[in-house]
Chains A and B, each alone.
Chain A
Amino acid sequence: MSENSAVKGIIIDDQVAENITRVEELSYELKVGEVMTKNVKSLSPEMKMGEVLDFFRQDRISGAPVISNGSLVGVLSIEDLIHALIHSDMESPVGKYMSTKPITVRDSDQVVEALKIFVSTGLGRLVVVDNDAKMVGIITKGDITRGLLKALQREIQAEELRTYRASHLFEDIESDRTSLILRYNIKQGDFLRGGQASSHIKRALLRLGASPQLARKCGIAVYEAEMNLIIHTTNGGVIRAEIEPNKISIDAYDDGPGIKDIELALKPGYSTASEKVRELGFGAGMGLVNISRCVDNMKLESAWGKGTRLSMKLFLQEKEVVGEGRSSTS
């Protein structure tokens, strides 16, 4: 990680720190062409400075590209106009005051490239060209700010829409029994990604409108079950979560090695986990005990040499139903 991402002793008192980071990311994702101003009015080198004054005033702009015979030859900014005003030289042509060899960016560049140029040169606007060096627009810091804000707004709306759609999922579907089934393959020994399936299930429940308490109970139970598959199985296993408006059924199953003594496995503190697993903070023999506390109904079936199936059920009260228009935050 970079130096500046570790803040010593705190303290940006900024509620939107999250959004700031996202803005940084967006400046790499967005292209100059997406945020620039298109259909830019241009000047010709022969135009008189006096005409430019009217033009800038009328269109409320502070700079424009100068085009001659279809190609970009310079940029005239309001500072250049002021120079001409100071010298009372409004009859002179644009060509005399414009800055030549304008710095350009390409429409396919990342927005961050334009930002870098703004910072290093102190310029207020850059001409945007396409791959054939033809002018296609102009970009200012204001364009970038607007572009980033719009992109953020789009993302927030997209998440709201996703949550809204999911929370109404079951409403318009008619059947005798509707359910949503999520399946995850869990790899044996994959500690790095351990918890990913649980994380996805928890998020899905929240989007479906589950209460935070319900999502938490489910998350903890599935997480323990997921870690069990990672730690104790021969070939990994499967987590299958079936979500119905008023019931959640989660099965974690594998094809071996199975549990020799189920009663012993259910005893708090009993574990067969290795030292390595204990170093990871698991294998204290509390997993199944934890699960049984979080779910309404737990069933553990196993045959040594065959495999294990752990079934968990949560029954949702009327006010807790998911996928029928109830929002998780209300």
Chain B
Amino acid sequence: MKVNEIISIVEGNLLSKCVDLGREVKGGCGADLMSDVLASIQPEAVLLTGLCNPQVVRTAQMADVAAIVLVRGKIPPEETIELATEECIPLISSPYGMFELCGRLFQAGLNSLERPMSDQSPCDCER
């Protein structure tokens, strides 16, 4: 699924400039805990989160996240948008809550890219 398809499914606003809307998204992950994201997410996922600070973008950058969707119509501070633009990561704000967003994207065929705690393999996932 491509980033622009995700934007239409979540009926989102694209907040960051400098994005590749044709970038391929391989799956999804929903979390507010950045350490959880860093521990569990596999590359090229869309990250659904309620957190709006610049650390979300840094986390996304480190974990090779393909796009970030902020839930419940949250508008992040300017620094977050600027960093997303700088790092060319699509930052999207959707009016829907986390539960509905996961449902919408899962129904549209996007699978989970979160690994369980029991999976202790190192964080170099298949790309």
Binding site for B on A (CB under 8 A): 1, 5-15, 17-18, 21-22, 191-192, 194-196, 198-199, 202, 212-214, 216-217, 219-220, 223-224, 227, 280-287, 289-290, 293-294
Q: Is the CB of A11 within 8 A of B7?
A: yes
Q: 7 smallest A-B Cβ distances: which pairs?
A: A195-B58, A281-B34, A286-B35, A10-B7, A219-B62, A213-B124, A284-B35
Q: Give the distance in Å from the alpha carbon of A225 to the alpha carbon of B47 in the complex.
A: 22
B87 to chain A: closest residue by CB: A199
Bound-state CA distance A289–B38 (Å) is 11
Contacting A at CB under 8 A, from B1-58, are 4, 7-8, 11-15, 17-22, 32-39, 43, 49, 51, 53-56, 58
Contact in complex: A280, B51 (CB < 8 Å): yes
List 17 interface pairs A-B (beta carbons < 8 Å), by A numbering. Answer: A5-B15, A9-B7, A10-B4, A11-B8, A191-B55, A202-B62, A213-B124, A213-B127, A220-B38, A220-B62, A280-B53, A281-B35, A281-B37, A281-B53, A282-B34, A284-B36, A286-B35
B residues adjacent to A (C-beta < 8 A): 4, 7-8, 11-15, 17-22, 32-39, 43, 49, 51, 53-56, 58-59, 61-64, 78-79, 81, 85, 87-88, 120, 122-125, 127
Report chain B residues within 8 Å CB of A191. Answer: 53-55
Task: Name the A residues within 8 Å of B127 (CB-CB).
Answer: 212-213
Partner of A212, one of B35, B37, B49, B64: B64
Partner of A216, one of B17, B19, B63: B63
